Amino acid sequence: MTSKFRIHVLGLPHTKTHLDYVACAFTQKILLFCKMMHQRGHYIIHYGVEGSNPECDENVVVLSDEEFTKEFGANKKHTDLYKFNTDSEAVRIYTENCIKEISKRKQKNDFILPFWGCGQQAICESFPDMLTVEPGIGYIGAAFAPFKIYESYFMLSYDAGRTNNYLLPSFYDVVIPPFFDLDEFEYNPNDRTKGPDRYFAFLGRIGDHKGVNIAIQVCKALGVKLKIGGQPCDEYKNFNWPDCVEYIGHCDIQQRKELFKNAIGTFVASRYMEPFGYVQIESLLCGTPIITTDWGAFPEVNIEGVTGYRCQTFNDFLAAALHLLNRDIDYINCRKRGEDYRFEKIAPLYEKHFQDILNLTLKSGWYTISSEVEEKIKKIKE
């Protein structure tokens, strides 16, 4: 039987934990985590900006809307990338109020989760008696907590090598991939490769580091439309889009669903080592194949010839797009792969990790044996 945990979830000071801000991957992660774990009966206490509305038992305001707007009013959530400053007055107020409010609520063996990494380190270090677990690590050089959860094996291995911990890694640094709410997506089994309105999709931060230029070049060469959604980086603000591109801007949950479920395929051609790449799962859950680069976490998710293709040269990207136009990928295999990241499959991984950490407070520590395993040992000895 799974224990029920008390979990203090630290929201961001520069966004609201609200569907209006899901273009921020950190915010989306917090929203989904609260929903996933609260629905499984865990006690969730969220700390965030006024106007946040995650699914939880207590939603504690630690930064007023007035203070938030004064500092981050320039964060145009549907047009610009989110800006923040860890040394700002708003972050100072947020940090002080978090410490004050957690002090009122903490209990023995409570967990505290800093989703913003080192931006919330001062809060966590104020509570050495709490169990600090740093979740969803997909960033470089910021992990600090005694217990760490990485988004991919690539990120865990990279961080271990970077910090020279590869010779003696911790049993409590683990990989738990991101999680997704199936209610936000719709599987489309129908052929999307025919007709004048057919298109490929791109969604995310619009910049060459995300490979949007590669997607444009491929679609231009093939004479096929590319629909681009997301918030532009500086080089793509006021950009003169070629004729093959339809720029649709920010996508909410419904618009994201429509974009992916009707696309031939989705480009996720990140030029850097992608820590995970949420877009690839969002696309797969709609039954839509993906075209990715072949580094970072992509080899862990994108199964070559089954869910899409991993590419290294321009010819590879053209060939991949032609494969999708020829329907060489079965849409149902994409959906099944996406379902590997549903709440019901990922939540037990968090619960096991939390229980393993909690076991360290017992006398038996790392050697703690569960009642289920003890029963099985007993049976084989009979």
Q: Write out 217-241 in H/E/C secondary structure.
A: HHHHHHCCEEEEECCECHHHCCCCC
The answer to whether the beta carbons of residues 8 and 62 sit under 8 Å apart is no
Question: In a 3-state reduction of DSSP, which class is residue 366?
Answer: helix
Rounded mean pLDDT of the chain?
94
- Report how far residue 35's alpha carbon sits from residue 17's, in angstroms, rounded to the nearest whole number: 12
10 Å CB burial of residue 311 (0-12, 13-18, 19+) is: buried
- Report how far residue 286's alpha carbon sits from residue 263's, in angstroms, rounded to the nearest whole number: 9
Which residues of the chain fall below pLDDT 70?
A: 1-2, 74-81
The DSSP element (H or E) to which 78 belongs, if any, is none
pLDDT (0 to 100) of residue 139: 86
- Report how far residue 237's alpha carbon sits from residue 375's, in angstroms, rounded to the nearest whole number: 62
- Report how far residue 276's alpha carbon sits from residue 137's, in angstroms, rounded to the nearest whole number: 10
Please compute Rg for the chain using Cα positions: 22
- Report how far residue 336's alpha carbon sits from residue 355's, in angstroms, rounded to the nearest whole number: 29
Closest CA to 72 of 8, 144, 21, 134: 21
pLDDT (0 to 100) of residue 78: 63
Q: For 81-116, how does the pLDDT look when each residue is reduced to its tens digit (9 = 90+)? A: 677 778 889 999 999 999 999 999 999 999 999 999
Residue ranges of alpha helices (H) inside 252-330 are 253-261, 278-284, 298-301, 314-325
Long-range CB contacts for residues 325-328, cutoff 8 Å, separation at least 24: 325/193, 325/222, 325/224, 325/264, 326/193, 327/191, 327/193
Domains and CATH numbers, the chain: 6-179+342-373 (3.40.50), 182-339 (3.40.50.2000)
Closest CA to 211 of 268, 154, 150, 146: 268
Closest CA to 62 of 110, 29, 20, 104: 104
**Residues comprising the chain, all counted:** 382
- Report how far residue 147's alpha carbon sits from residue 133's, in angstroms, rounded to the nearest whole number: 5
Within a 13 Å sphere around the CA of 324, how many CA atoms are in the beta-carbon half?
Answer: 32
